[in-house]
Amino acid sequence: MKIQSLAELTDLGRVRLSANFFMRDMLASEVGNFYGVPNIPENPELAIEAGRNLCERVLEPLLNGVGHITIRSAYRSPTLNDYCHRLYTQGVKDAWCTCNEDNAGYHIWDRRDGEGRLGATATVVIPAYIEYFERTGDWRSLGWWMRDHLDYYAYVQFFPKLCAFNIGWREGELDQSIGYLDPPLRETLTRQGEPNFDGDHKAKYKHVSVLPCT
């Protein structure tokens, strides 16, 4: 059912996705705010279902492990994502959105991907990690910590600003890749099937005080 009134949008924002996250936390968008494009789900029920899986299975365990996390970007409506993608193709580099077909089941929570899988992505910053990252440039330690402590993430992709990262949940088999993207630079730390994927990686992050080793 589409949102057709302010009261319905207010109620959507009050939907509790997990112990510490509400739908309102997931709707902020600089592109939407600046260009006046509403970021409202076309299919709220599907967006809520995907968001609850992301929050309960991935974001809550992350928060419980490292403390406060900030949602930088999360849900994007098909309308907003398409607008953002068109801006990017026109050279607006701060509007970095892939097309709707590629983002379905990722940032577009209320559309399934090309294989029919439900999924959701959030862009996250860990405030306690920022100073360490800015001093060292080390995103890998955090990546290895997440590999050891999060069971249900589908993928993690780091970016250079604030050590922000996309992290997602998705139905079906999980690649669980962890990597870094700073066009044109790309690096994959690990993924399912790689020799370094399984096992205890504590030695790779135990020197970082903000990452608990238990």
Q: What is the pLDDT of residues 62-85, one digit of tens each?
A: 999 999 999 999 999 999 999 999
**pLDDT grade for 183, boundaries at 50, 70 and 90:** low
- 3-class DSSP assignment, residue 59: helix
pTM score of the predicted model: 0.94
| Mean pLDDT over the full length of the chain | 94
Q: What is the pLDDT of residues 119-174, one digit of tens each?
A: 999 999 999 999 999 999 999 999 999 999 999 999 999 999 999 999 999 999 89
Name the β-bridge partners of 70. 125
Residue 186 pLDDT exceeds 70: yes
Beta carbons of 11 and 5 less than 8 angstroms apart: no
Q: What is the pLDDT of residues 6-22, one digit of tens each?
A: 999 999 999 999 999 99
**64: nearest Cα among 56, 74, 53:** 56
Q: How far, in Å, CA of 146 to CA of 40, rounded?
A: 30
Q: How far, in Å, CA of 64 to CA of 53, rounded?
A: 16
DSSP 8-state secondary structure symbol assigned to residue 110: T
Name the β-bridge partners of 165. 124, 158
Mean per-residue pLDDT, 103-127: 96
pLDDT at residue 118, rounded to an integer: 97
